Structures are given as structure tokens and as C-alpha cells.
């Protein structure tokens, strides 16, 4: 009688998986209910984990169990070769949560390109470039034209959440995948861009509970895509800007975002009802910001940049605003159903691609469930949400 030998876990793969995940041995050990020394011993090959421990480790670092039995660690490009340079994020030292979010968005992008090719779809292209020393207003005008956002439509938007869905849809229709990612601290990153072609990706942190802030972040990242299209910036791994020149690019992108959301003509329309533009208190700025679907801080910053608010008045307003924010903390949107989360996380274009491929038997239901990270039992609700009005849908990731 012959027996089949148990496969051998490769310690070098364990070491790779731990390093690639970004988790310290102490955090892994706590999750797996073992000592940190044992985790380090697995990576060094001094001890062998049990099959159950390998399964638990694989689940924690979000890798297939089979990868731990490979002869050598997989060859995976650095994550920093994908995303634009981010403030406070050192390439290769991203938090475990951000590293996971990046891997998931990269995988989603790859599926989107594969499915587009399989279905014979030629993705749209943003086709807007920006040079850092041109007028932000000029770039903003080109972006609004490409996104087809009419001022009358913008003023008619009901609230910030409808504005978020409206702007997101416009960006997605221009050939950009917009994903949401959870679990990453806002202090680390609010938004990012994957500089891939076709179908570049913008990721929005779903911990941001103020929809107007999501809109600003979205347009800020669109501006960075336009800069990258003109070779003004590149991925974090190869970025060669010094801190000052990179800060200049950031300020430029912020200005482009501000003028895209609020061109001068629309700002004039919103302010024309003001009895006195010399008095800017929190209540007044909040009132105008609601009409513009912009955060009060972004509006006040814009008024200061346009010399409608003096530096002294702006500084006083900032102090009052900080007090107001401390007394009125932002709250989340509440419970979201699995189908809502799937739509918010993946975006409508990606969901449509998956459903189209499924209906044409190009992928299986199991594939679709894996791509959307959604159980099959929720597919019908997601289908109904997808074909319904846009403002009935997008939940958080």
C-alpha cells in the first residue's frame, strides 16, 4: 500500500507573504493565537506550521493556500509601480490595509481589461492632459467639457450624496474606473490613482463620510491623471520630483479640482444672492457651500484664493470652522446591504462588465461572485440596483 506524502510548506514563501502583506509578526501571531517567535520560526524554516495554521495564515494575508507550497515565492511587481506618489506614504512601507486595497484594485483593473477584450469593448479614454505651469482654470474647463457636467444640472442636484454619484458617473463614463476601498485610515490616504492604461483607476477611501469631500478627492485624482498623461508625473516608485516641486503639483491638482467643481461663472451665480461679500461667517459659507455641493472649507479656501476673502478673514473663519467641526462630527451613512456595498466598491462599469460576461457565458457564476466579492444570492438585487436610477445605488465599500 502506497501513501501520499504531505506537501511541504516553503518557509521562503511564508517570509515573502508576511513581508508582502505588510503585517508585523506580532500582529499575525495575535490573529493566529501563536507566539511571534513561532511566526518568525516558520519564516526562517526552523519550525513547520500545521495545515490548519497555514490555512489561517493564508486567510489573514489574503493569499491562496496553494501559494505556500510553491517552490519559490511568486514574482510580483512592487505596488508602488502602480500608484501615483502619495503624501506621507513611503513606497514599500504602505500599511497592510492599504497594501490589500491596492492589490484588490489592481486585480479588479486586470479583470476589467480582460473582460473588455473578451467582450470586444473598446474602453473610452479620458484624453485630457495637464501641464503644471498652465492656468488651472484652463485645465478645469477641459475636464468639465470632457465630463459633460452642465452648471444647471449641478445646481439642481439634491444634496451631497447625489452630487457624489453624479460626478462619479461622469468620471466613469469618461473611461476611468472609480473604486472605493475600506479599512484604510483617512490619515494615510483619502484617494489615489493607479496610472494604468487603458482604464486608469481612481480609488476613494470609503471612510470619508462627507460626500462633498469625496467629490473633491475624485476630481483631485482626475487632475493627477491628466498630469500623468502629459508625463508631468509618474508612479511613486519612479517619481523623481523633489519635495517642493511635488508639492507644487499637489497644489495645482487641488486648484484644478476646485475650478472643475466650481468654475468662476458658477461661483458668481451662487454668490449673487449674497447681501454682503465682506461678511463671511460659518453659517454663510455653509449656505453657499450647500448650493455648490462643495465642503465649506473648500469654498472658503477658494474665496481666499480668488481674493474674495482677505487672509485675516480667512484665518478667523478657519478658527471658527474648526470649532464648528469639533461640535458637529461627521457621521456615516448607516447600514448598507451587500449589493449596495458591491456597487459602491466596484463601480457601475465594472459590475456591468461582469454581468455582461456572465450573460454571454464568458465567465461562470463562481467567477462573477469572486470578481464582485459578492455571494450569488445577492446578484438579482445588484442587477435591479444596476438598472435603476443612479441615485438609488452606490453604497460604501
Last residue of a domain, one of 238, 261, 284: 261
Q: Answer yes or no: do 34 and 118 share one domain.
A: no
Contact 225, 111 (CB under 8 A): no
Compute the half-sphere exposure of residue 86: CA atoms within 13 Å on the CB side of its CA: 29
CA dihedral (207, 211, 213, 217) positive or negative? positive
**Residue 289, exposed/middle/buried by CB under 10 A (0-12, 13-18, 19+)?**
buried
- In angstroms, rounded to a whole number, what is the distance separating the alpha carbons of residues 279 and 206? 35
Last residue of a domain, one of 76, 107, 132: 76
Q: Answer yes or no: do 49 and 138 share one domain.
A: no
- In angstroms, rounded to a whole number, what is the distance separating the alpha carbons of residues 87 and 367? 36
- Domain contains 343: no
Residue 389, Ramachandran bin (φ over 0: left; ψ between -120 and 50: alpha; else beta): beta
Q: Answer yes or no: do 60 and 117 share one domain.
A: no
- Domain contains 194: yes
Question: Which pLDDT belongs to residue 5?
Answer: 53
Residue 5, CA distances (Å) to 48, 56, 68 in order: 15, 22, 16
Kind and range of the H or E run holding 206: none
In 3-state terms the chain splits into helix, strand, coil percentages (rounded to 5) of 60, 5, 35
User: Tens-of-pLDDT digits for all 397 residues of the chain?
Assistant: 454 555 789 999 999 999 999 999 999 999 999 999 999 999 999 999 999 999 999 999 999 999 999 999 999 999 999 999 999 999 999 999 999 999 999 999 999 999 999 999 999 999 999 999 999 999 999 999 999 999 999 999 999 999 999 999 999 999 999 999 999 999 999 999 999 999 999 999 999 999 999 999 999 999 999 999 999 999 999 999 999 999 999 999 999 999 999 999 999 999 986 655 568 999 999 999 999 999 999 999 999 999 999 999 999 999 999 999 999 998 876 678 999 999 999 999 999 999 999 999 999 999 999 999 999 999 999 999 988 765 434 556 5
For the chain, the domain total comes to: 2
Cell triple for 3: 501513501
* Domain with 53 in it: 11-76
Amino acid at each position: 500500500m502506497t501513501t501520499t506524502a504531505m506537501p511541504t510548506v516553503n518557509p521562503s514563501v511564508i517570509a515573502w507573504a508576511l513581508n508582502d502583506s505588510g503585517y508585523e509578526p506580532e500582529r499575525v501571531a495575535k490573529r493566529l493565537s501563536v507566539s511571534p517567535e513561532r511566526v518568525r520560526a516558520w519564516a526562517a524554516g526552523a519550525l513547520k506550521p500545521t495545515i490548519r495554521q497555514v490555512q489561517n495564515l493564508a486567510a489573514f494575508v489574503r493569499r491562496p493556500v496553494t501559494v505556500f507550497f510553491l517552490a519559490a515565492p511568486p514574482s510580483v511587481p512592487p505596488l508602488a509601480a502602480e500608484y501615483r506618489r502619495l503624501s506621507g506614504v513611503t513606497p514599500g512601507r504602505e500599511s497592510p490595509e492599504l497594501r490589500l486595497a491596492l492589490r484588490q484594485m489592481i486585480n479588479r483593473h486586470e479583470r476589467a481589461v480582460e473582460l473588455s477584450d473578451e467582450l470586444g469593448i473598446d474602453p473610452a479614454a479620458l484624453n485630457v492632459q495637464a501641464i503644471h505651469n498652465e492656468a488651472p482654470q484652463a485645465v478645469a474647463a477641459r475636464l468639465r467639457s470632457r465630463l459633460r457636467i452642465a452648471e444647471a444640472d449641478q445646481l439642481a442636484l439634491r444634496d451631497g450624496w447625489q452630487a457624489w454619484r453624479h460626478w462619479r458617473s461622469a468620471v466613469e463614463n469618461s473611461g476611468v474606473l472609480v473604486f472605493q476601498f475600506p479599512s484604510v485610515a483617512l490619515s494615510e490616504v483619502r484617494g489615489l490613482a493607479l496610472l494604468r492604461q487603458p482604464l486608469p483607476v481612481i480609488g476613494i477611501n470609503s471612510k470619508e463620510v462627507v460626500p462633498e469631500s469625496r467629490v473633491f478627492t475624485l476630481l483631485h485624482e482626475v487632475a493627477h491623471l491628466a498630469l500623468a498623461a502629459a508625463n508631468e508625473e509618474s508612479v511613486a516608485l519612479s517619481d523623481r520630483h523633489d519635495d517642493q516641486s511635488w508639492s507644487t503639483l499637489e497644489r495645482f491638482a487641488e486648484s484644478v479640482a476646485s475650478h472643475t467643481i466650481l468654475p468662476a461663472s458658477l461661483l458668481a451665480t451662487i454668490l449673487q444672492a449674497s447681501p454682503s461679500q465682506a461678511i463671511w461667517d460659518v453659517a454663510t459659507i455653509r449656505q453657499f457651500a450647500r448650493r455648490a455641493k462643495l465642503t465649506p472649507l473648500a469654498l472658503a479656501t477658494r474665496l481666499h484664493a480668488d481674493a474674495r476673502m482677505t487672509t485675516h478673514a480667512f484665518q478667523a473663519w478657519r478658527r471658527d470652522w474648526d470649532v464648528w467641526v469639533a461640535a458637529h462630527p461627521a457621521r456615516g451613512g448607516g447600514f448598507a446591504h451587500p449589493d449596495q456595498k458591491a456597487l459602491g466598491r466596484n463601480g457601475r462599469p465594472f459590475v456591468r462588465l461582469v454581468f455582461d460576461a456572465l450573460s454571454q457565458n464568458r465567465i461562470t457564476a463562481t467567477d462573477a461572485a469572486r470578481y464582485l466579492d459578492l455571494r450569488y444570492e445577492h446578484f438579482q438585487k445588484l442587477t435591479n440596483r444596476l438598472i435603476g436610477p443612479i441615485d438609488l445605488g452606490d453604497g460604501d465599500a
